[in-house]
A and B are shown apart, each in its own frame.
Chain A
Amino acid sequence: EADIYQTPRYLVIGTGKKITLECSQTMGHDKMYWYQQDPGMELHLIHYSYGVNSTEKGDLSSESTVSRIRTEHFPLTLESARPSHTSQYLCASSEVTEAFFGQGTRLTVV
């Protein structure tokens, strides 16, 4: 089983709140990713990183931001949550080939 963890698993939060979704991996992978996925739908790449202090925007525009200060940690932040941000957020990491996914954070903004 892959060692990549996301917290929280579920989050219900009010509009306008600032939130940070945590993602940590213990495999020493350089590449990390954030995806947004509605139930049963496509995986949209919103951010990726290829190492410490490197972050890039993905294929889908997102109001979230990310940071990569340590290899193992890739948190995603929403400064002001809105109902349109309601979705599942999946974090993944990879080294050469296979990407390992966390269990995801299901975010609901009310």
Chain B
Amino acid sequence: GQQVMQIPQYQHVQEGEDFTTYCNSSTTLSNIQWYKQRPGGHPVFLIQLVKSGEVKKQKRLTFQFGEAKKNSSLHITATQTTDVGTYFCAESYDYKLSFGAGTTVTVRA
């Protein structure tokens, strides 16, 4: 599998503001999946991107796959307290599912 790097490691956001977290790879990714893990919980699947340049939206969340398929981003608009948690990107490759280190998001009310 590939090694995916996520930045930033921590994101402290004022409620109502927007933020973006990034997932980068030095090699071409087969696909990219995004998961959210609430504090004390288990990871929950959000979305998968497969095509170069693909953009998908889920309410306030926008997911993008880079043209070269080496990076991906998750943009959240108008952050709410329910957005608290750790967001992981992952690549499914050769029967493996390998995760990045995650971005842990805290929200200031």
Residues of chain A touching chain B, judged by Cβ–Cβ distance below 8 Å, are 31, 33, 35, 40-43, 45, 48, 50, 56, 58-59, 90, 92, 94, 97-104
Contact = CB atoms under 8 A, between A and B. Distances in A.
B97 A99 contact: yes
B96 A58 contact: yes
A45 B104 contact: no
Chain B, interface SS category: strand
A92 B97 contact: yes
Interface residues of B, number: 22
Chain A, interface SS category: strand
A102 B35 CA distance: 14
Interface in B6-48: 33, 35, 39, 42-45, 48
Contacts of B100: 42
A101 B102 contact: no
